């Protein structure tokens, strides 16, 4: 073996080690109690979900009566407002009011634009009911709840494949509300049963690529409004959109739509640049979309440009929409398709919201509770689905405005919600002449923040496989569909995990001189091999069917090469092999079979096998399968140092023949 042969070998005596064996310590491995089973772990998860621990030492310093303590703790867990509300004061309220008003000035035009992107009428606003629910249940102080571009695109692209909104708008709208309801149910379930790890299936690299691809697709979709096109494709891939644009341009179209859209897009981007350059003028960026709507609407009304080809919103219903509970389709032919769409929307919405919330929480120096966030977001969407709203989540652009405006708590969401409600009641009819091109420009202005080229280059520099995931998501969304992009990203991510699981690291260990530290001789060439002892570390947490054959063949191959090399070069023959299993947390029957075959191979070569530091689950299964009896209880150790000390005196007293 090349790596082993290249390692530095130095004579070592027992006194060199300076470490005495502690039999009682080694016996701890075999005398450990039985680990918890699947049932106990599941019960523990459920108990944690439904019986939260009391917060330690509240501000008042008083413990509630025992019979009410659990109920009060549960209420405070579900409604964090009961905790921070006790210290809320007028100064904080004043800051939240200013932030909420600023937030509403940005949220109103964005909500209209995103409703258009979701192929819904402007009055189906998600900025009224969901923020109210989140305000009393959420743990983030800065996050702003409402519609976002990516989720709006997801809904329109996936639900349109079930029902065409142009052919049957009533059914389409009902399915959107159904998807929103199911997405909320999934999100609540994730939080209650601590299933937040499901969100992590979409890696950071996948999200970067997905967001960039979705931003370009959204931008291409806005060409319909920007150019004032009447007929456009429902497909989201770049090829279909470009074909639709080229085909539509052959028909008569009015350049006024393009002029209005581009003019106000430049205006919004200019205000954003000024707001970022001069921090005190951040409000310019926040109110520029609202100013664009007001100015463009007034201009169209004054010039009657709608009579000359400029497309306008026209019908806008004032006030809140009626309850949509009766429109939910929880049974019937569309249920399965709605559930598939809902699970994707739920995961994407949670991923964006939690990422946004944690970013701003770290700035303010507090910790965001991911599980509570999932429950709050889920309840917001369930309530929203019953009040004619589609999927809401945390928006980065609006959260940044909320933070810059001085928001101190979720009360800013309440102020925003009330302001939007008043606008729906009093101002919606005045939007009749609002040009659709301006809504397209508002959406386009939010897209540059979704394309993070700098982060993509950083991913390429650090991890090429992660960049492949990022690129796969980007290309899949751009040339396929949103679902294909997500599927490609997940497939590459899982392929990466499987490849690493199939071929885990198996390292020969050496000892750093003067210490009792054992490490890889490949990573640390100064580490010295112990004469007549071969120490091998298995670097996998789960020794199972997927990697046991590779590990077994690698170890047996090394042992044979070591024996042949020692015979050819008349070196001291290996008489003991130590398997460092300190990284092996669990093992299955295939892994146990691999250990048994390794033991048989070593026995046939008259080599003693020892095992060091196996995990709790692993040693329990090894005892049940009889592996411990085959190897011998005296050859199971807590640490590699103890195993080497036990093997070395025997080999030192009986050196290998020349």
DSSP 205-245: HHHHHHHHHHHHHHHHHTHHHHHT-S---S--SHHHHHHHH
Supply the pLDDT for residue 539: 93
Supply the pLDDT for residue 349: 92
Write out residues in the chain with pLDDT < 70, as ranges. Answer: 1-26, 45-70, 252, 318-319, 567-571, 648-658
Strands 145-146 and 542-543: unpaired
Residue 599, CA distances (Å) to 576, 578, 635 in order: 11, 11, 12
Q: 618-621 long-range contacts, Cβ below 8 Å, gap at least 24? A: 618/543, 618/581, 618/584, 618/585, 618/586, 618/587, 619/29, 619/30, 619/32, 620/32, 620/34, 620/35, 621/586, 621/587, 621/588, 621/592
Q: What angle do CA 284, 297, 417 make, to 5 degrees?
A: 55
Nearest Cα neighbor of 147 from 409, 384, 451 is 384
Supply the pLDDT for residue 47: 67
Supply the pLDDT for residue 3: 45
Residue boundaries of the structural domains of the chain: 4-32+503-653, 88-497
Q: What is the pTM assigned to this prediction?
A: 0.76
Burial label, 180 (beta-carbon count in 10 A; 0-12, 13-18, 19+): buried
Supply the pLDDT for residue 51: 57
Supply the pLDDT for residue 55: 42
| Class of the CATH-defined domain 4-32+503-653 | alpha beta
Q: What angle do CA 589, 590, 594 make, to 5 degrees?
A: 115
Supply the pLDDT for residue 26: 64
CA distance 646 to 641: 9
């Amino acid at each position: 073996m090349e790596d082993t042969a290249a390692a530095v070998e130095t004579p070592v005596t027992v006194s060199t080690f300076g470490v005495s064996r502690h039999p009682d310590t080694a016996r701890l491995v075999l005398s450990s109690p039985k680990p918890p089973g699947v049932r106990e772990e599941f019960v523990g998860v459920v108990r944690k979900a439904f019986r939260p621990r009391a917060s330690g030492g509240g501000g008042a310093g008083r413990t509630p009566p025992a019979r009410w303590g659990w109920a009060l703790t549960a209420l405070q867990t579900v409604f964090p407002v009961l905790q921070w509300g006790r210290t809320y004061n007028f100064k904080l309220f004043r800051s939240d009011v200013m932030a909420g008003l600023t937030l509403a000035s940005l949220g109103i035009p964005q909500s209209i634009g995103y409703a258009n992107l979701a192929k819904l009428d402007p009055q189906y606003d998600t900025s009224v009911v969901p923020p109210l629910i989140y305000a009393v249940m959420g743990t983030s102080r800065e996050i702003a709840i409402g519609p976002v571009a990516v989720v709006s695109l997801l809904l329109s692209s996936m639900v349109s494949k079930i029902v065409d909104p142009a052919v049957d708008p009533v059914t389409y709208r009902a399915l959107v509300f159904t998807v929103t309801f199911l997405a909320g149910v999934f999100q609540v379930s994730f939080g209650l049963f601590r299933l937040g790890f499901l969100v992590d299936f979409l890696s950071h690299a996948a999200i970067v690529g997905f967001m960039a691809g979705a931003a370009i697709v959204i931008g291409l979709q806005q060409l319909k409004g920007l150019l004032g096109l009447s007929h456009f494709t429902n497909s989201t891939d770049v090829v279909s959109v470009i074909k639709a644009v080229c085909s539509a341009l052959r028909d008569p179209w009015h350049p006024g739509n393009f002029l209005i859209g581009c003019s106000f897009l430049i205006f919004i981007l200019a205000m954003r640049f000024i707001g970022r350059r001069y921090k005190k003028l951040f409000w310019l960026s926040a109110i520029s979309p609202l100013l664009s709507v007001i100015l463009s609407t007034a201009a169209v009304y004054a010039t009657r440009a709608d009579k000359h080809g400029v497309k306008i919103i026209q019908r806008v219903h004032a006030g809140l929409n009626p309850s949509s509970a009766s429109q939910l389709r929880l049974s019937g032919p569309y249920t399965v398709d709605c559930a598939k769409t809902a699970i994707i929307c739920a995961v994407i919405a949670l991923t964006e919201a939690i990422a946004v919330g944690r970013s701003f929480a770290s700035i303010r120096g507090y910790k965001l509770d991911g599980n509570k966030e999932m429950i709050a977001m889920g309840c917001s969407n369930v309530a929203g689905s019953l009040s004619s709203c589609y999927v809401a989540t945390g928006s980065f652009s609006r959260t940044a405005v909320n933070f810059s405006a001085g928001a101190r708590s979720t009360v800013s969401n309440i102020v925003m919600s009330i302001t939007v409600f008043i606008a729906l009641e009093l101002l919606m009819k005045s939007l009749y002449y609002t040009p659709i091109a301006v809504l397209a420009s508002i959406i386009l202005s939010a897209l540059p923040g979704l394309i993070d080229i700098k982060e993509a280059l950083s991913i390429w520099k650090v991890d090429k496989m992660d960049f492949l995931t990022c690129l796969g998501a980007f290309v899949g969304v751009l040339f396929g569909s949103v679902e294909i992009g997500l599927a490609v990203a997940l497939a590459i991510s899982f392929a990466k995990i499987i490849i690493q699981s199939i071929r885990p690291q198996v390292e020969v260990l050496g000892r750093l001189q003067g210490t009792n530290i054992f490490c890889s001789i490949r990573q640390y060439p100064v580490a010295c091999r112990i004469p007549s002892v071969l120490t091998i570390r298995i670097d996998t947490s789960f020794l199972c069917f997927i990697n046991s054959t590779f590990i077994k063949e690698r170890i047996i191959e090394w042992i044979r090469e070591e024996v042949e090399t020692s015979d050819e070069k008349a070196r001291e023959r290996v008489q003991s092999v130590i398997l460092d299993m300190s990284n092996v947390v669990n093992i299955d029957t295939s892994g146990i079979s691999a250990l048994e075959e390794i033991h048989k191979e070593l026995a046939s070569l008259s080599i003693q096998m020892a095992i060091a530091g196996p995990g709790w689950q692993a040693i329990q299964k090894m005892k049940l399968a009889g592996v411990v009896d085959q190897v011998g209880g005296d050859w199971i150790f807590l640490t590699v140092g103890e195993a080497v000390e036990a093997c070395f005196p025997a080999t030192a007293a009986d050196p290998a023949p020349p």
